[in-house]
Structure 1
Amino acid sequence: MKNLLLVGATGFLGQHLKNFYQNKGWQVYTLGRSESSDYLLNSNRLESLLSLDIDVSFDRLINAAAINEVDINKDISVTYDINVTLTRYLVELAHKYKIPEFTYISTFHVYGNTNDFIDVDLICEPKNDYGLTHYLSEQIVRTLGKAYGINTLVVRPTNIYGCPVNMAAFNRWSLVPFAFIKDAIEEKTINIRSSGLQLRNFVSVHDVLKATLLIDKLDIVNAYGFDMLTIRAFAQKIALIVELESKSNVKVSWLGSETTSTETDLRFAENINYHPVGNIENYISDFIELLNE
């Protein structure tokens, strides 16, 4: 049985990662600030990570811990501690305890203002602290991983959708894939606070999970999905499905009178090792059912 050290196991993606690897027969140990963690992280003394009493021989470390894009500007010091400095210490931890593989969950936001074709070789020009902190951590993992002989993988997801593992603990209602469905069911309306013509790529959490298995094949993987939609089109798709399943009308509103997006449709460089299969319409139906329980 292989052993995984998972950092950030209480988050939306972290909970999925824990279940995914356990279902594949891995023994998963968690490191975090939660009292339920196998190894407790003192976020005020990150250097204490190197003093942890670890007696398990780990095969892989996955870092899925980060301050999210909503909370990132609340405290810049905390943001850089968790999104960057923590990663630096985790690489040292992997080196100290001879963990041979290190996967870092990054974000599509490292690219910044992108053109119409996205490839992992594209120069990254992050435009905010969220993208910048993840890009800094990518460089830490790849540079020191190479120096220490650690096999590394960077996963760059786009906008993740999927049903939460634990609804009671779920707290990401500000994100479009979740907020719109909740509003459509509870309020019978979806209010978009912009024109809604921004194009977004959406990826299933299950495709992101499978991407983490590519550590022996790739250094960086863009975890993207088939669905490229404007925010407005996504809201209208949700409204239609809710209307069909609940037999009630759902209103979608937005700001402005524009009807056509001026953004270029993004395309991702294909990779023979990565094949997304997620279906956003199936997700919408599944999440509606979950919310109605």
Structure 2
Amino acid sequence: MRILLTGATGLIGSAVADRLRAQHPLVTLGRQADRVDVVVDLSDPAQLDGLQLPDAECLVHCAGVIDEDFRAEPMAAYRRATYGAEALARAAARAGCRRFIYLSSTHVYGAQVGTISEEAPANPQSHYALAHFCTEQLFRRQAAVDEGSCVILRPNAVFGLPPHADTFQRWSLIPFSFPREAAETGRIVLKSSGLQRRNFVSAAAIADMAARCVAGDLADAAGVINVLGADTESVYDFAQRCRRITETQRGRPCVVERPPASLEAPNAGAGSDFMPVSRFGQPRPAGELDDFIRRFTALC
């Protein structure tokens, strides 16, 4: 089965590429001509409308928008997530794709509170989440038009070693900022109570799920799948995890600080009960998160 893959130069897409390339012919799509097989620019839907992609059976789209896109150029980000994604889906369909896999986010559900299953209704609150929701619907529609199938993958807090640090934009996210602060300054500073929980999921876990949906036990699955990591814990507990590992690794103290009044704030505990769940089993290697922190801080 030949697969078209976007986002292969990014954190998640590179892991997906490594996983799929071992079993399938893979054609990578993206803007960096020296790093992909076919140059594709989602900000230029007209280019996609006139593009004939190589024949393929499945499209895996890992080049969705990120928060940083909306801080820089919000209208351009929406354009890529709607007109760009729509043109990509059409081009893939012309190439023969009938299986569509889209990497989205749990933020499509809205507030990260309580137990969230794949049956939970979408309630996107931010432009980032709304854009992902729009892209989901466009891929669902294309699959329906072509009598194909569509899978939406929704992970939470993704971690992994960036394949290209020069183009990586997500340093401010806590899976990266906390261990980096611990290694470089010996001080992790929280902006809130830190009681809100996150499910920490590796790029490798997402790659494994993508492979299952391409030609594994979930090749016939459709709809939303929450991609899960082994560790769901509070932001504060994750900071303490980074502190302990860095202290052992560097042999010097590290402190975790949070605003003194944050625990008394009216919504201090919002999200402290967050727990994404899935109808599909997703075992992960023990110590995956700790191993990432050790390897990441060693590079800082």
Asked if TM exceeds 0.5, the reply is: yes
1:256 aligns with 2:260: yes
How many Å apart are 1:43 and its aligned residue? 4.4
1:197, distance to aligned residue in structure 2 (A): 2.3
Instruction: Please tell me the residue identity of whatever aligns with 2:221.
Output: L
Paired residue secondary structure (1:213): helix
Alignment of 1:218 onto 2:221: yes
* 1:7 lines up with 2:6 in the alignment: yes
Q: CA deviation digits over 1:246-272, x for unaligned, max 9?
A: 110012111134559623422333424
Aligned-residue offset at 1:114: 4.5
Query: Superposed, which structure 2 residues align to 1:30-69 within 5 Å?
Result: 30-36=28-34, 37-54=36-53, 56-69=54-67
What is the CA-CA distance between 1:214 and the residue it aligns to?
A: 3.6
Corresponding residue number in structure 1 for 2:293: 284
1:84 — aligned with what?
82
Q: CA deviation at 1:79?
A: 0.9
Q: Does 1:271 align with 2:279?
A: yes
**1:8 and 1:63 in contact (8 A); partners too:** yes
- 1: CA distance, partners of 2:228 / 2:108: 14
Query: Structure 2 vs 1, CA of residues 113 and 172 (structure 1 numbering), >3 Å: closer, same or farther?
Result: closer
How far off its partner does 1:115 sit? Answer: 4.2
Query: Where does 1:132-211 land on structure 2 (aligned, <5 Å)?
Result: 132-211=130-209
| 1:212-262 Cα deviation digits (max 9, x unpaired) | 134324222101223222212111110111101211001211113455962
Moved more, 181-190 or 70-79: 70-79
1:121 corresponds to: 119
Distance in structure 1 (CA, Å) of the matches to 2:137 and 2:98: 18
**Which residue matches 1:241?**
245
1:262 maps to amino acid:
G
The code of the aligned residue for 1:254 comes to R
Q: Comparing both chains, which one has the higher relative contact order based on Cα–Cα distances under 8 Å and sequence gaps of 6 or more?
A: 2
**In the aligned structure 2, how far is the partner of 1:116 from the partner of 1:33?**
39
Aligned partner of residue 72 in structure 1, secondary structure: helix
The amino acid that maps onto 1:21 is L
Alignment partner, residue 216 of structure 2: none
Structure 1 residues 150, 90: CA separation in 2 closer, same or farther (over 3 Å shift)? farther
SS at match of 2:269: coil
Tell me what 2:70 maps to. Answer: 72
Q: Structure 1 residues 102, 172: closer, same or farther in 2, change over 3 A?
A: same
User: Counterparts of 1:173 and 1:270 in 2: how far apart (Å)?
Assistant: 28
Aligned-partner Cα distance in 2 for 1:17–1:170: 16
Structure 2 Cα separation of the partners of residues 44 and 57 of structure 1: 23
Question: Which one-letter code corresponds to 1:107 in the other structure?
Answer: S
How many Å separate the matches in 2 of 1:64 and 1:103? 9
How many corresponding residue pairs?
Answer: 288
Preserved CA contact (<8 Å) 2:41 2:47: yes
- Cα deviation, residue 89, structure 1: 1.0
**What value does the CA root-mean-square deviation take over the aligned residues?**
2.1
Distance 1:268 1:194 in 2: 22
d(CA) in 2 for partners of 1:114, 1:169: 28
Distance in 1, Cα, partners of 2:277 & 2:169: 33
Seen in structure 2, the aligned counterparts of structure 1 residues 172 and 270 have a Cα distance that, compared at 3 Å, is: closer
Instruction: State the shift of 1:126 in Å.
Output: 0.4
- SS of the equivalent of 2:71 reads coil
**Structure 1, residues 158-189: CA drift from partner, whole Å, max 9, x if none?**
11012223445434211111111111111111
What residue identity is the alignment partner of 1:66?
G
Distance 1:192 1:106, change over 3 A: same
Correspondence for 1:93: 91
Mapped partners of 1:140, 1:44: distance in 2: 16
Deviation at 1:131, TM superposition (A): 0.6
Q: What are structure 2's unaligned runs of at least 5 residues?
A: 214-218
Residues of 2 paired with 1:87 and 1:42: CA distance? 10
Per the normalisation by structure 2, the TM-score is 0.88
Alignment-derived partner of residue 107 in structure 2: 109
- Larger mean CA deviation between 262-271 and 236-245 belongs to 262-271
